[in-house]
Amino acid sequence: MHHNLVDAGRPLFLCRSASCKAPQSVAATASAGGMSQPRRPVDFAAATPYLVHDTFRAMSCITKQIAHLDLDCFFVSVERIKDPSLRGKPVAVGGAPGGRGVVASASYEARAFGVRSAMASSRALRLCPQLILVRSRHHEYGEISERLATRMEEIAPVVERASIDEFYLDFTGCESLYQNNLAGFMHSMQKMVADEFSLPCSIALATTKTLAKIAVGTVKPNGVCVIPPGNEESFLAPLPIGVIPGVGAKTEALLTRRGFRTIADLQAQSEEHLCALLGASGGWLHAVAHGRGSDTVSVEHTRKSISREETFAKDLRAIPELEGELRTLVEDVCATVREKGWRARTIQLKLRYADFTTITRARTIDPTDDDPVIFDTVQSLFRAAYDREQAVRLLGVHLSNFDDAAQMELPLNPQRQHREELLKAVDRIRAKFGDDVIHVGGA
């Protein structure tokens, strides 16, 4: 593995781990045009006295090369493999319009009519009467996602599975393994996903995870975007503030009222000013606007899950009783999630009937560690799934697809900090006095 050490934009060294046998050489960083500079040999004996000092200094400013890959209208694209007649048409995958069904994924043709994920299916059909609504087949999507993750791990050194259809790949220091042309490799990767999985995707390469995620959004569907190191601020400047993941509708409205429109408007403000406006989140927003942010691609969280299940002494049928059990399970898993400093994206319910028929239902939401948010999701999965025809033998709650709370962007809700303090206090009280003494209310 190589590490491209860069001091204030100037290349220092190209380091290799002990396992690398080839001779050392000076690093070549990508210039503004994305092309590599020619390499020069380096005299490491002469460099040694400076090496340790500069290595420590430079470690804090290694230029990362992080790719973000996100499948385009994932669930719809999977359905199009099975039924090619759906191609080029307004299609949504989701629940039936009669009940509480919502759109999980909408084709870009449907989006032209305003159809979006998480919208009630009935509303989607009103906006787009010719919409073809296809029922979800979650099991299949999960399997494809799993196969794609395995394939990604074969072609990139460090892969983080951020959600069912999103991956971060860290190529830092590995440029020479990809013919010093990572930009070209992004196109090859996109073609590989198309050829081997028949799925369209978009990919961005940048120096932080946040930037790569923002960049992917600008080229969807079927796009590739490369932001050479040093071009972060100029890339971000013209984009509207709302593209920043973590800037919710409320924060966006607050900033708009104060005259902020584009990221350039944020870049023009001091960190102190943004903190005065938004509290602690101001510091984070200031960093993101200048192209900084989390750049740690973590394998560890990709396959982790936390789950609790309960087999009842006597089968249960009453909904309030079953939902009470679900609340306890949710509180239990949420405490573990917070203990680890993670936030879950995928929430899964498991329901086993008296006759042992078992069903699972999952939903992916914005990363959270908040009991009521997870409970609401579990409750709605339960209400949609429970057929009430027989009693329930077992319930389970399973969380996966974690973000590291310490690394991820704080949602820009000024009340968020208070909320986190409250949740931590609740965990301390529960640890001391037992789980039943306190429950958390809505956010």
Active site residues: 166
**Residue whose structure tokens are 């995620």:** 213
Distance from C-alpha of 326 to C-alpha of 350, rounded to nearest angstrom = 10
Given the DSSP bridges, would you call strands 224-226 and 342-353 parallel, antiparallel or unpaired?
unpaired
Interaction between residue 297 and ligand DCP (CB under 6 A): no
| Cα 161 from chain centre | 8
Taking Cα atoms as reference points, which of 180, 159, 197 lies closest to residue 72? Answer: 197
Given the DSSP bridges, would you call strands 224-226 and 201-206 parallel, antiparallel or unpaired?
parallel
Cis peptide before 245 (omega within 30 of 0): no
Interaction between residue 156 and ligand DCP (CB under 6 A): no
* E strand segments, 28-131: 66-71, 91-94, 103-106
Distance from C-alpha of 384 to C-alpha of 95, rounded to nearest angstrom = 9
Interaction between residue 79 and ligand DCP (CB under 6 A): no
Q: How far is the CB of 87 from ligand DCP (least distance, A)?
A: 15
Interaction between residue 164 and ligand DCP (CB under 6 A): yes
Q: How far is the CB of 74 from Mg ion (least distance, A)?
A: 5
Contacting positions for Mg ion (CB under 5 A): 70-71, 74, 165
Q: With CB under 6 A as the contact rule, which of the stretches 57-65, 72-80, 282-290, 372-380 interacts with ligand DCP?
A: 72-80
Q: How far is the CB of 331 from ligand DCP (least distance, A)?
A: 24
Interaction between residue 91 and ligand DCP (CB under 6 A): no
Q: With CB under 6 A as the contact rule, which of the stretches 67-75, 227-235, 320-328, 332-340 interacts with ligand DCP?
A: 67-75
Binding mask 261-280 for ligand DCP (x = CB under 6 A): --------------------
Phi, psi of 310 (to 5 degrees): -140, 120
Say if CB 168 and CB 19 are below 8 A apart.
no
Q: How far is the CB of 168 from ligand DCP (least distance, A)?
A: 14
- Of 114-153, binders to ligand DCP (CB under 6 A) are 117-118
Among 12, 14, 73, 225, binds ligand DCP (CB under 6 A): 73
- Of 219-248, binders to ligand DCP (CB under 6 A) are 220-221
Distance from C-alpha of 297 to C-alpha of 295, rounded to nearest angstrom = 6
Alpha carbon dihedral 188, 190, 191, 194, in 10-degree steps, equals: 160
Distance from C-alpha of 29 to C-alpha of 41, rounded to nearest angstrom = 15
Q: How far is the CB of 164 from ligand DCP (least distance, A)?
A: 5
Q: Which does 167 bind (CB under 5 to 8 A by kind): Mg ion, ligand DCP, none?
A: none
Extract the tokens encoding 427: 């965990």
Interaction between residue 359 and ligand DCP (CB under 6 A): no
Among 2, 64, 72, 144, binds ligand DCP (CB under 6 A): 72
**Residue whose structure tokens are 């879950």:** 344
Which residue's CB is nearer to Mg ion, number 167 or number 171? 167
Which residues contact ligand DCP (rule: CB under 6 A)? 70-75, 104-105, 117-118, 164-165, 220-221, 363-364
